[in-house]
Amino acid sequence: MVMPESSEGHRTASRRANRPLVGPRVPLRRLLRVASIACGIQFGWALQLSLLTPYIQELGIPHAWSSLIWLCGPISGLFVQPLVGHMSDHCTSRYGRRRPFIVAGALSIVLAVLVIGHSADLGWWIGDRGDVRPRAIVFFVVGFWILDVANNVSQGPCRALLADLTGKDHRRNRVANAYFSLFIAVGNIFGYATGSVSGLYKIFPFTLTSACSVNCANLKSAFLIDIVFIAITTYLSVSAAQEIPLVSNDRSSLVVEESMGESGHASEAFFWDLFHTFRHFSGYIWVILLVTSLTWIAWFPFILFDTDWMGREIYGGKPNEGQTYSSGVRMGAFGLLCNSVVLGITSLLMEKLCRKWGAGFIWGISNIFMGICFLTILVVTYVANNMGYIGHDLPPNSIVSAALIIFALLGAPLAITYSVPYAMISSRAESLQLGQGLSAGVLNLAIVFPQVILVLHISSIIFFSSATVK
């Protein structure tokens, strides 16, 4: 198909502007420092995934509606990460293309966790009383949405920065993404370990207030620690990158700006790039996107309800009804800590595995293994529900051990899911005629779009099941 001359010129200028702006080969230790921000981001994610679903219900949101709160992640991912990726590809800041977005995202994360952690107090100060606290829920939801948007603002440019620094060296790019996955594991370990501690509030006694019970104070204390992690890892990452500003490196960026000016708005260039990308995907790219979508459809229910499943199905507890549910949630957080240890070990072995058997083969085997583990979860749930201890006693060690082993084993395919698809899509960024930021955003679309549908489906199932029970 023959493209109009002006459009072809815009595409050519965009390709030039989106080339990695690096000089000599970047040492591995610098890539390690750049990837370290994943530790701070994932520390907060670990707290979010292990503690916030139970905390939502403690604020008075029914279980049937709690999953709808998590829609903010997929929805923000649909729009924020591709747009931020495009904006970072064309950013002309003197601090570089990616670092301003990484810092802005980190500051937003700090704001969000402060709002979430103090939501019960804020609601109390303006009139909340009783078991259902609507004002606290409003503060919580606002902070939750800010947190998910901020995570997307930081993570996309960070992955794009790693791709910029590795250039066309695909092996080094896999190593960089393995580092990113490794720091995700480290952040998870610290986050889940923090979430599993029942007396954390004793370190920060001021967190225990009239509106904030022990569980709430533990959550608040954990988020205060998260702020320290974010500050340290953000500094390590942005100080190591040493990006070259776009305008001082390539005058073709001026051509891009003129082309954008002729079209009227930068947003038109963004939508044109995105539309053009979808139209010219190769079969290889479509397979990556399809497998990524199907994989995350499987992962998302586990990530959303893992600790809640442990508290309800294995321990047989309910929120705000005794300590059984809270004990199950803490045990679930410990299981996710074990998951993160395996995730980290797998990340260290990633490059050797991919070099020996190929990235695509490793990814396929990991997805099959993941499916077997999820089927095993169903078996453990069935056995637990038919042993007769629920409602009368704590679960036997055999059931708890089986659940923890499954949690741990799932760390291996999760490590591969976090790194291999990004490395594969990054290696095709040139053929996509995209910058690394937008290509990472396009992959994120494949991750989050099915999640929106899945969350709505899960919510409808829970809602109608609850209505039937009543």
Please give the average per-residue pLDDT across 308-335, as a whole number: 84
The reported pLDDT for the residue numbered 370 is 95
Least confident of 12-21, 155-164, 167-176, 431-440: 12-21
The reported pLDDT for the residue numbered 254 is 35
Show Cβ contacts of residue 222 under 8 Å, excluding neighbours closer than 6 positions.
Answer: 47, 51, 191, 194, 195, 200
Q: Of the ranges 199-208, 254-263, 314-323, 405-414, which is most confident?
A: 405-414
- Greater model confidence, 301 or 222: 222
Please give the average per-residue pLDDT across 41-64, as a whole number: 75
Quick one: three-class SS letters along the chain? CCCCHHHHHHHHHHHHHCCCCCCCCCCHHHHHHHHCHHHHHHHHHHHHHHHHHHHHHHCCCCHHHHHHHCCHHHHHHHHHHHHHHHHHHCCCCCCCCCHHHHHHHHHHHHHHHHHHHCHHHHHHHCCCCCCCCHHHHHHHHHHHHHHHHHHHHHHHHHHHHHHHHHCCCHHHHHHHHHHHHHHHHHHHHHHHHHHCCCCHHHCCHHHCCCCCCHHHHHHHHHHHHHHHHHHHHHHHHHHHHCCCCHHHHCCHHHHHHHHHHHHCCHHHHHHHHHHHHHHCCCHHHHHHHHHHHHHHHHHHHHHHHHHHHHHHHHCCCECCECCHHHHHHHHHHHHHHHHHHHHHHHHHHHHHHHHHHCHHHHHHHHHHHHHHHHHHHHHHHHHHHCCCCCCCCCCCHHHHHHHHHHHHHCHHHHHHHHHHHHHHHHCCHHHHCCCHHHHHHHHHHHHHHHHHHHHHHHHHHHHHHHHHHC
CA 127 to chain CA centroid, Å, is 34
Residue for token pair 């007396």? 199
- Greater model confidence, 386 or 170: 386
The reported pLDDT for the residue numbered 272 is 53
Show Cβ contacts of residue 66 under 8 Å, excluding neighbours closer than 6 positions.
Answer: 53, 56, 57
For residue range 188-221, what is the model confidence (pLDDT) as tens digits?
Answer: 888 878 877 777 888 888 888 888 888 788 888 8
Least confident of 66-75, 122-131, 400-409: 66-75
Asked if pLDDT for residue 1 goes beyond 70, the answer is: no
The reported pLDDT for the residue numbered 263 is 36
For residue range 279-295, what is the model confidence (pLDDT) as tens digits?
Answer: 666 677 778 888 888 88
Asked if pLDDT for residue 450 goes beyond 90, the answer is: no
The reported pLDDT for the residue numbered 310 is 92
The reported pLDDT for the residue numbered 407 is 95
The reported pLDDT for the residue numbered 400 is 94
Strand partners, 239: none
What type of residue sits at position 412?
A
What domains does the chain contain, in order, with CATH numbers?
Answer: 10-257+281-461 (1.20.1250.20)
The reported pLDDT for the residue numbered 466 is 52
Q: CA 220, CA 197: separation in Å to the nearest integer?
A: 13
Buried b (16+ CB within 10 A) or exposed e, 382-395: eebeeeeebeeebb
The reported pLDDT for the residue numbered 398 is 93
Least confident of 21-25, 201-205, 248-252, 381-385: 248-252
Tokens for 262, please give them: 């002729």
Asked if pLDDT for residue 367 goes beyond 90, the answer is: yes
Using an 8 Å Cβ cutoff, are 413 and 366 in contact? yes
Q: CA 26, CA 124: separation in Å to the nearest integer?
A: 51
Asked if pLDDT for residue 406 goes beyond 80, the answer is: yes
Using an 8 Å Cβ cutoff, are 288 and 424 in contact? yes
Band (261; pLDDT cuts 50, 70, 90): very low
Please give the average per-residue pLDDT across 94-100, as a whole number: 85
Using an 8 Å Cβ cutoff, are 368 and 435 in contact? no
The reported pLDDT for the residue numbered 3 is 38
Band (4; pLDDT cuts 50, 70, 90): very low
Least confident of 140-149, 177-186, 316-325, 395-404: 316-325
What's the pTM? 0.67
Asked if pLDDT for residue 15 goes beyond 50, the answer is: no
